Chains A and B, each alone.
Chain A
Amino acid sequence: MKKLYWIIIALFMIIPIGVKAKDIDVYVFHDYKCLHCKAELEYLNEVKENYNLNLHLYEIGNTNDKSYDANVELFKKVIEKLNINKNYQAPFTIIGDRYYIGFDDSTKKSMDTLLKDFESDIKVIEKVVKDEDTSDINMKYGEYSAIKFFGHELNINKMPIPLIATVIGFIDGFNPCAMWVLIFLITMLMNMKNKKRMYALGITFLVTSAFVYLIIMFAWLSIIGSLSSIVWFRILIALVALIGGLVNLRSFYRSLKKDDGCEVVNEKKRKSIISRIKKIVTEKSFILALIGVIFLAFSVNVIELACSAGLPMTFTQILALNNLSNLEYMINILIYIFFFLIDDILVFTIAMVTLNVSGISTKYTKYSHLIGGVLMVLIAILMIFKPEWLMFNI
């Protein structure tokens, strides 16, 4: 009996009877023409009582009505100050230090999870309105379900992007244009019998190739980052991807009629690269040989980028559509580059360990054309008709 008494007392202490939950300020920038915005407002009104929401709604789509100009100005100011939603998409929702771009079933689930356990006293919009310093606020996407990576939070909703980076990078890696240069370089290095020099020159070639891709992809990202919200620009990129995809499919179709093997192309360019490699290998000064390899990797990768038929560009466009943080851009581009170089790394490592250069069958190149072609055509179609399907955080 005494036990029961203590249990009842404990239960009264645990259950917060009559304690009113804290009000939650929800700021939504919406467009009256947008169906996703409409769906979000319906949802928020539905759950308003359950979570004690204070809804602050800002119409930004009705540009004909001057009374909404202040909302548009605030929308721009918030984006500029917080450095998020750079594509100016709606609906754009801010709850504490969390934000959402777009709205669908997954956003709804994420908002539910966030609102259930909401704990934040940060008043972002008030700070922006008052022109206060917002540099200390670290805005994070969505619910509290992000995973930690070197102290930074990565959104789980964006996880398909690394997967896409892996697939497209891997397919791009089978581009035979740059591979033959590495194979020739390794074969010539093998004749040197100087293992240290072999390692140094081979690794320098691979690292420089990665660096060239990194620079090109970041440069491209910064160009299209600001333009990707413009419909005609997105369609232009989609058309390039479509042409690239069709080129890949044509290559696959042609390869079906031919024997599997290495195609002998562009004699002049091949001979010039071969003579450059010979010079590097026979160069007595190690520093000059190293500089020669760096220049070789630079020129080969820049020229051969065209050979990739738009795969890196298509991937960068997907990144731009997803409004990621700089760290996430960097991680995804590095994943792409790693898988782009994985076959080269494999050939190099095997050659260094076994002192025997082994080649990868050209059959894989043939199928990379097929998979790459189908993927690019698919992405191009989505970019034109369903770009939101490529926006994994929306």
Chain B
Amino acid sequence: MKIVKINALWCSGCLYMKKVWKDVLKEYPNLDITEYDYDLDEDIVKTYNPGEILPVAIFYKDNIEYKRLVGEKTSDEIINVIKECL
């Protein structure tokens, strides 16, 4: 299952979410996650139209964008979306 994550090196909320994603990965270790940095990967990030709040996680179902989670979320919220996509 494909997930695109957009973070930034300066974003405190993105760093906070690292711990949350660690918990998610314990349950789903085989997720196909691609991470981009808001400033360092500017051109690619623009194509995802991430908006004004970071971090952004884009979930794909059958290679089509299914859902976006914007900002800080709990591991349960993320797992629920993963379950919907699978």
Contact = CB atoms under 8 A, between A and B. Distances in A.
Contacts of A188: 9
B25 to A, nearest CB: 16
Interface string A266-286: 000011001000000000000
A359 B9 contact: no
B39 A261 contact: no
B19 A358 contact: yes
A227 B23 CA distance: 56
Contacts of A179: 12
29 contacts: A180-B11, A183-B11, A184-B9, A184-B10, A187-B10, A258-B71, A259-B53, A259-B70, A259-B72, A261-B53, A261-B54, A261-B70, A261-B71, A261-B72, A262-B10, A262-B11, A262-B12, A262-B13, A262-B54, A270-B10, A358-B15, A358-B19, A359-B13, A359-B15, A361-B12, A361-B13, A362-B12, A362-B16, A363-B72
Given A357-B15, A359-B14, A361-B16, A263 B52 contact: yes
B59 interface: no
A112 B18 CA distance: 61
B15 A261 contact: no
Contact-size category for A: 20 to 34
B13 to A, nearest CB: 4
Contact of B53 (A181, A262, A270): A262
Contacts of B39: 270-271, 274
A358 B19 CA distance: 9
A270 B40 CA distance: 12
Nearest to B50: A264
A52 B18 CA distance: 73
Contacts of B18: 358-359
